Amino acid sequence: MLTKFETKSNRVKGLSFHPKRPWILASLHSGVIQLWDYRMGTLIDRFDEHDGPVRGVHFHRSQPLFVSGGDDYKIKVWNYKLRRCLFTLLGHLDYIRTVSFHQEYPWIVSASDDQTIRIWNWQSRTCIAVLTGHNHYVMCATFHPKDDLVASASLDQTVRVWDISGLRKKTVSPGGEDVLRLPQMNSDLFGGGDAVVKYVLEGHDRGVNWASFHPTLPLIVSGADDRQVKLWRMNDTKAWEVDTLRGHINNVSCVLFHARSDIIVSNSEDKSIRVWDMSKRTGVQTFRREHDRFWILSAHPEVNLLAAGHDSGMIVFKLERERPAYATSGGVLYYVKDRYLRSYDYASQRDTPLITVRASGAGGAHAARSLSYNPAESAVLVSSDADGGSYQLFMVPKDGRTESQAEPKRGLGATAVFIARNRFAVLDKANNQIQVRNLQNEVTKKSNSPTATTDAIFYAGTGALLCRSDDKVVLFDVQQRQVLGELSTPFVKYVVWSGDMAQVALLSKHAIIIADKKLANSCTVHETIRVKSAAWDDNGVLIYTTLNHIKYCLPNGDSGIIRTLDVPVYITQVKGDVISCLDREGRNRQIQVDTTEYKFKLALLQRKFDTVLAMIKGSGLTGQSIIAYLQQKGFSEVALHFVKDERTRFNLAIECGNIEVALQSAQELDDKDTWYQLGVEALRQGNHQIVEFSYQKTKNFERLSFLYLITGNLDKLGKMLKIAEMRSDVMGRFHNALYLGDVRERFKILQESGQHALAYVTAKTHGMEEEAAALAEEIGEGSLPQVGGDALLLMPPTPILREDNWPLLTVSKGFFENLAQQEVGGAPAADMEELDMEEGVGAAWGADDGLDLDGVDALATDQDGVEDVVGDSGEDEEGGWEMEDLELPAEPATPVGGAGFGDTATPFVAPPPGVPPSGRWLQKCGLAAEHAAAGDFASAMRLLQRQLGLANFEPMQPYFLQVAAGAQAILPALPGLPPTVASLDRNWNGEAGSVPPTAPALVFSLAGLEEELKRAYRSVTEGKFGDALSRFTAILHTIPLLVVPTRKEVDDVKELLAIAKEYNIALRIELKRKELGASDPKKAAELAAYFTHAKLQPVHQALSLRSAMSIFFKMKNLATCATFCRRLLELNPGQKMAAQARQVLAACEKTPTDAEPLEYDARNPFDVCSVTFTPIYRGNKFVVDPYTQARFQPSCAGQISPVGDLAKIGADVSGLMCCPIQLQSR
């Protein structure tokens, strides 16, 4: 028995596999029905409306339904998508033992302790037949898979077979409904004539608990309290007992035929499951539990899986392995199938049976587990689990001849593998020894295993073995009896060596460990789905399969999906873009795959840039995943060559600092946000010409004035003053006058604004006596403000450089940066000058209708007008990027000592510095925010990466800087001396004396974020979605740098994080919908529907529903529109909105149909992937953003989550740490 899944719960009385999904239903004695995903090992849902034990449960074959019956006399039909009971069928008068759907008709059959069997029509929700005849409890009833028959088992010691063909003709045939309307007197009491007893099978000595039909043959199997399993055969006229299977020592609870093998499986209250050979009618295998009685069995209708329920839960299991044993050598595959050793030539695709392999163990139950091939001697070792582990040694005939076959040599051993031309090793687990044998199966050498718990050995090169124990793998030299290497691993199932034996992949259930030939660990790949097989390609890339994917793993540990699989396969060879594999039936398959993605990543990893460039130009390798990968690995300049979309191209250029490409893209996009980002990056690089141009394009007058101030461009600063006056911008005029040191202009502004007291102070302070006297008379002597006598006039600073641009560092550019520079072409400075001259006043300042610029035309014609702000024709425009060296006079040599010291004077030794407060903070504090405040950004980033999976820290940079700056105070010093920096401690107490630093002061607080949340809510209400998204994203960026003192506030922080995540996803959906517009109305409608399922505030929820209602009503999807109307009315909106919703609902209910099919199911709960903008329905696979817990499609694993643009999707993390108490409790 191979256990695949096991649960611990109350007693399981009913089981049912889903025919398509990896789900199983378990009904419990406690009254709960559990829905499990046995592949992932997770509980999907639970249903608990029954009162008392639930003994029967069954999935429908095609509909999202299941039926249950319990001790409360009720049959309930459930919809698992809606997660609720649809209706209840009443009629039975005692406990209901089993319920089952018909394969084809809308029928349910139920068996009850009221001694009847009932057949129900679940569509009309009525009982259509009552089968009476048993005179004791009816323990089970089931439909035949194909014929119009029902089998029932009862404690009256009989099995009855019922013919229901009359019922089918009456209810399903044409005209059946008219017959159904005829009165049927006492049909409930005596039973109708539509179902009649065909056979009564008598032979059991006690009550019969179960009876099952064979899926294809005219056979029935039954199990009873007489501890016997009986096999029955039937024909058109009679049924008779074929044989009795004895072996159970207590009541037989359940028995059934295996769908894929000629075996019978039964379980019993004797705590065992028994497997019987149907042809020999003998027991083959027995599986026991220590303390749990078995009650129910279920077989999967499609897959080789069984499930059994017992007193403390259930198990899902296989009876034998489905993985074929195989080995590849020299272009030929050797494998075992149908008791034959076969060879398959990859080149000719010829499959040849070579040798008959006799199955080992009782009844042939033990299939081959592993195979080892010796090309030198054409010998094959086949290992199996028979007799606790055994092997067979075959000599393969030359040239594929199969006329004669020598008897194989056999022996006992857990594993047998070849280690030399004429030697093989056998693991003797009983004595913990490794035996070396020759081809005559004679022991030539023995040595103790390198570990006390070695349970398997694998080939590791000539004379070497990999020895597996529970928690590690050991490289063992058999000849020298020496351990060469050791590696801690999960439990390793398979070992795959590369062609040159330089690398090895150790495959465990959910992980792959790649190591070199000395077992030095290179990387580890973790999988949530079971790993099945692997093989190396010619480039040193590992290709492996899980249950449902073919994937790759690069030498650095990066992995990705190549394609999905319908059924599991086992890779045997990878050659180019063809993967050869075996399926579970032992059939050879060749799968064509696209290897471009991983070959591109490999070339990038190996820094073969010529190959990378050729692949960029010659292949259609595109997509967000490739761009995200390049960004993550620091190759943004490479990603620039992938994209034609100017928005993406601009973002990549900004990220890699390529200001020329960014400028080119900004000109194409020409929107405010783009110019703002370009200005920020240009300012970071010190390119103030592009900064000026960006500020002009965004009409950012305040920043532009300050830029002219710090660059010393007083002429343009004076013209900015004129522009502010033209715009009636009082504060702008005052700031520009202040920057210029223009006292009279400041006085004029204050006087015009009615600020007479401030105007008086200004005039009096700067010696404007006449103006001050005039104002004094106007104000009055008693109201005059006091004027200080030590005031000084603030004048603009003198710039250090008066060149066209600040000098930039000369750096060597990489391969792709030079290539990008060639594509852009030209000198950036010259381009800027040309752009400046082309842009007129109207385009740069006055053409925007949104600005109220009176008198623009008059001002534009003025010789000293705004036009000169952009460019001055008198300046030299051909300077370009002049970087010549300055001829500076040599500095005079100054002696180290002063004039009064001789050469032999003792040098002054400064005392060693003490530990700065930031160093003490790092020693005492363990939170990321505190490390950032102390200035150690690297350790803060490491903490955030480990705790939250953050991988992209670019958005966090301004917050890191704010935190670091907020923990320091700058104290001015004497002129010419640098200022003094003082560290601000969070626990500082002014009343105490000297207090050592304990924790830095922090600028971000929970209260501040709550205020920001209110502002974000207000932006959403006002429909400013872009602004709201920026605010919620800022909250997500700030939370990692938050520190709170109590656990209650930790919970508040997590709640705030959840709110920001929900709104971030919702707003991105809505902005994506607005971006699509009329170009893709179907996708836009789907996004509008998804937006309504976000967990928003009620007022925002109502607005989203109203929007979706309008969209769906216009596109004639009235059925879905009606659901939005109902949900909107449930929120109790305002009177006007409610009236509109009722009108739309009334119109929709007249024709409740959808004109356009959409990918949207309102009844099935789902999350929305923020990368693909597609729904992830309950039960589907997903990966998680470790920081925000947002869910994404599995293909997004490894990308940077767009919800905050911080975390790596699918990363393993320890969780958010924002309170010192959390560190103490760890």
At residue 601, the 3 state secondary structure works out as helix
The set of residues, in sequence order, having a beta carbon less than 8 Å from that of 968 and lying 6+ positions away, is 981, 982, 983, 984
**Confidence (pLDDT) at 837:** 28
Ranking 86-90, 94-98, 470-474 by mean pLDDT, the lowest is 470-474
Give the long-range contacts of residues 931-940, CB within 8 A, separation 24 or more. 932/960, 932/963, 932/964, 932/1041, 933/963, 933/964, 933/966, 933/967, 933/1000, 933/1001, 933/1002, 934/964, 934/967, 934/1000, 935/964, 937/964
Q: Which residue is listed with tokens 């603009």?
A: 796
Determine whether 1076 is exposed, middle or buried from the number of CB atoms within 10 Å of its CB (0-12, 13-18, 19+). middle
**Position 617 pLDDT exceeds 80:** no
Mean pLDDT value of segment 921-948: 84
Torsion of CA 1071, 1075, 1081, 1086, to 10 degrees: -30
Rounded to 5 degrees, φ, ψ at 442 are -100, 140
Strand partners, 299: 306
pLDDT at 191: 47
Per the rule left: phi > 0, alpha: psi between -120 and 50, beta: everything else, 101 is: beta
Instruction: Pull the structure tokens for residue 628.
Output: 């995200």
Average pLDDT over residues 252-279: 90
Residue 544 pLDDT class (50, 70, 90 cuts): very high
pLDDT over 90 at 727, yes or no: no
CA distances from 1021 to 307, 1018, 1024, 1093, 1133 (A): 53, 5, 8, 17, 14
Burial 950-964 (b: 16+ CB within 10 A, else e): bbbbeebeebbebbb
Across-strand partners of 160?
A: 152, 200
The string of pLDDT tens digits covering residues 460-485 is 888 899 999 888 899 999 888 888 88
**What are the tokens at 524?**
């580890």
Residue (of 363, 357, 362, 371) closest to 323 by Cα position: 371
Q: What is the pLDDT of residue 75?
A: 95
CB of 201 closer than 8 Å to CB of 228: no
Cα dihedral 829→834→835→840 (10° resolution): 140
Burial class of residue 403, CB neighbours in 10 A (0-12, 13-18, 19+): exposed
**Tokens 């055994």 sit at which residue?**
390
In whole numbers, what is the pLDDT of the chain averaged over residues? 81
Q: What is the pLDDT of residue 73?
A: 93
Tell me how far CA of residue 60 lies from CA of 107, 448, 761, in angstroms: 10, 57, 89
Asked if residue 253 has pLDDT above 90, the reply is: yes
- CA distances in angstroms from 33 to 15, 102, 113, 254, 525, listed in the order given: 10, 21, 21, 20, 36
Place of tokens 């993406």: 648
Which of the two residues, 2 and 541, has the higher pLDDT score? 541
Residue 520 has pLDDT above 70, yes or no: yes
pLDDT for position 807: 67
Q: Are strands 542-546 and 549-553 parallel, antiparallel or unpaired?
A: antiparallel
pLDDT higher at 830 or 736: 736
Q: What is the pLDDT of residues 300-345, one digit of tens each?
A: 988 889 999 999 999 999 887 788 888 988 888 888 887 788 889 8
At residue 893, the pLDDT reads 41
- pLDDT confidence tier of residue 936, bands split at 50, 70 and 90: confident
pLDDT of 278 reads 86
Q: What is the pLDDT of residue 184?
A: 43
pLDDT in tens, 119-133: 999 999 999 999 999
Region 342-362: what's the mean pLDDT? 78
Instruction: Give pLDDT, residue 843.
Output: 31
CA distance 497 to 500: 8
Q: What does the pLDDT look like over 419-467, one tens digit per residue?
A: 888 889 999 888 888 999 998 888 898 888 888 888 889 998 888 999 9
| Model pLDDT for residues 1209-1219, shown as the tens digit of each residue | 988 888 888 88
Query: Could you read off the pLDDT of 104-113 as tens digits, one per residue?
Result: 999 999 999 9
Q: pLDDT digits over 1087-1129, tens only?
A: 889 889 888 888 888 888 988 888 888 888 888 899 889 888 8
* 904 pLDDT more than 60: no
1026: number of CA atoms within 13 Å, CB side?
Answer: 4
Confidence of residue 971 (pLDDT cuts 50, 70, 90): confident
Tell me the C-alpha distance between 422 and 437, whole Å: 8
Q: In 3-state terms, what secondary structure has residue 1177? A: strand
| H runs (alpha helix) in 46-191 | 165-171, 176-180, 187-190
The confidence score (pLDDT) of residue 467 equals 92
As a whole number of angstroms, the distance between CA 1117 and CA 1109 comes to 10
At 394 the pLDDT is 87
DSSP states along 478-540: TTTTEEEEEEE-S-EEEEEE-TTSSEEEEEESSEEEEEETT--EEEEEE-SSPEEEEEE-TTS
Q: Quick one: pLDDT band at residue 621, thresholds 50, 70, 90?
A: low
Q: Is the pLDDT of residue 862 over 60?
A: no
Which residues share a beta bridge with 590? 580
Answer whether residue 838 shows pLDDT above 50: no
Lowest-pLDDT range, 173-187, 644-658, 689-703, 960-974? 173-187
For residue 596, what is the enclosing H or E element?
helix 596-605
Q: Among 857, 866, 832, which residue's Cα sits nearest to residue 699?
A: 866
Cα(862)–Cα(856) distance, integer angstroms: 10
SS in 3 state form for 739-791? Answer: HHCCHHHHHHHHHHCCCHHHHHHHHHHCCCHHHHHHHHHHHCHHHCCCCCCCC
Q: How far apart are CA 351 and CA 1151, in angstroms?
A: 61
Which residue has tokens 């040098």?
A: 907
Rounded mean pLDDT, 258-277: 90
Say whether pLDDT at 840 is over 60.
Answer: no
Q: If pLDDT is split at 50, 70 and 90, which confidence band does 865 have?
A: very low
* pLDDT band of 870, cuts 50, 70, 90: very low
The neighbour count for residue 312, using CB atoms within 10 Å, is: 15
Residue 170: other Cβ atoms inside 10 A: 19
pLDDT score for 992: 61
Percent of the chain with pLDDT over 70: 84
Q: How far apart are CA 902 and CA 329, in angstroms?
A: 85
The string of pLDDT tens digits covering residues 987-1024 is 777 666 566 777 888 888 888 889 999 999 998 888 88
**CB neighbour list of residue 186: distance below 8 Å, 6 or more residues apart:** none
Angstrom distance (rounded) from CA 415 to CA 525 = 27
Spatial distance between the Cα atoms of 144 and 239, rounded to a whole number of angstroms: 15
Let me know: does 594 contact 577? Beta carbons within 8 Å. Answer: yes
List Cα–Cα distances, 675 to 537, 635, 645, 672, in angstroms: 47, 24, 17, 5
Gap between the Cα atoms of 279 and 182, Å rounded: 49
Burial letters for 558-589: b for 16+ Cβ neighbours within 10 Å, e otherwise? Answer: bbbbbeebeebbbbbbbeeeebbbbbbebebe
Residues 361, 410: Cα–Cα separation, whole Å: 13
Q: Does pLDDT of 417 surpass 60? A: yes
d(CA 1182, CA 529): 12
Quick: pLDDT tens for 206-230. 999 999 999 989 999 999 999 999 9
Residue type, 1069: I
- What is the per-residue DSSP string for 906-961? PPP-PPPP---HHHHHHHH--SHHHHHHTT-HHHHHHHHHHHH-B---GGGHHHHH
Please spell the DSSP secondary structure of 1104-1153, one letter per residue. Answer: HHHHHHHHHHHTTBHHHHHHHHHHHHHT---HHHHHHHHHHHHHHHHS--
Which residues does 301 contact at the CB level (< 8 Å), separation at least 6? Answer: 17, 19, 61, 259
For residues 646 and 722, give the distance between their C-alpha atoms in angstroms, rounded to a whole number.
36
Q: Which two tokens stand for residue 1135?
A: 């009177």
List phi, psi (to 5°) of 964: -65, -40
pLDDT in tens, 143-179: 999 999 999 999 999 999 999 988 888 877 554 444 4
In this predicted structure, what is the pLDDT of residue 876? 38
Distances (CA, A) of 113 to 87, 100, 136, 196, 464: 22, 16, 7, 20, 66
* Residue 398 structure tokens: 């030359």
Please give the average per-residue pLDDT across 349-367, as a whole number.
67
pLDDT tens track for 747-794: 888 888 888 888 888 888 888 888 888 888 777 776 777 777 777 777
Cα–Cα distance, 816 to 822 (Å, whole number) = 10
Q: What is the pLDDT of residue 604?
A: 78
455 close to 442: Cβ distance less than 8 angstroms: no
Residue 1174: other Cβ atoms inside 10 A = 15
List the one residue out of 365, 367, 366, 368 whose CA is nearest residue 380. Answer: 368
Residue 1094 tokens, joined: 């976000």
At 658, the pLDDT band (50, 70, 90 cuts) reads: confident
Confidence of residue 845 (pLDDT cuts 50, 70, 90): very low
